Amino acid sequence: MSATEPGSGDGVPRSADGDLTARARIRYAALELYSDHGEDRVSMRRVAARVGVTIGLIQHHFGTKEGLRRAVDELVVEQVVAALATVEHTGSAAEVVAARDAAVREMLERNPMLVKYINRALLEPDGRGAPLLESIVELTTREVDSLRRGGHASTRASDKVQVVRTLMGQVGELFLEPVVAAVWAQIGGDPDERPSTRIIVEGR
């Protein structure tokens, strides 16, 4: 997979050299459209029109619409991996974990499109977001296991609790932010005084 780096200023991840191949541009266009409208409301023809290519080229690279969706899921996971790779494993276990959580949160804050896509995918009632959830959980499980074995994460809690705690620390608050904002607006709260959200995961 091509190297990518999050944060382009417009909410769309970009390739490391900024020179996107047709395949990369198709993935990014699909991500943008899926996050705004939902995958079920976006045809391959619409993606092709956004990029300025033929449907045949999309089929050449991804086969089917499901193949394109899997490729977008992979793009999301790539961005998380790239964010984690920026963190050095120095300092205490708590400092390493905090730095990794912050790196993922900051990447997602720079790329709100990713947050919208993940939210849509995981909340779809037909379960089409299951593969993305599985990929994210598998990645987090591997990362937690590596950190625990390397002495860079506490082992006081079980690995399963730590996986949940890690995911909530990295993405949970961002996912809840739209709900908090909607409730705050509904009750007439001053936007400048909107309360922040903090998720605490308890378990052993």
Any domain includes 203: no
pLDDT digits (tens, 9 = 90+) for 108-166: 999 999 999 998 887 775 677 788 889 999 999 999 999 899 888 888 889 999 999 99
pLDDT tens-digit profile of 92-116? 888 998 999 999 999 999 999 999 9
The CATH number of the domain where 91 resides is what? 1.10.357.10
For the chain, what is the domain count? 1
**What pTM does this model have?**
0.80
Assess if residue 198 is contained within a domain: no
70 within a domain of the structure (yes/no): yes
pLDDT the model gives residue 26: 96
User: Residue 85: which domain range?
Assistant: 4-193
Distance from C-alpha of 176 to C-alpha of 72, rounded to nearest angstrom: 23
The residue among 1, 65, 2 whose CA lies nearest residue 30 is 65
d(CA 179, CA 91) in angstroms, rounded, equals 35
Residue 199 maps to a domain = no
Which is nearest to 80 in space by CA: 47, 52, 48, 118?
Answer: 118
First to last CA, the chain: 37
Cα distances (angstroms) measured from residue 12 to each of 36, 142, 152: 12, 26, 31
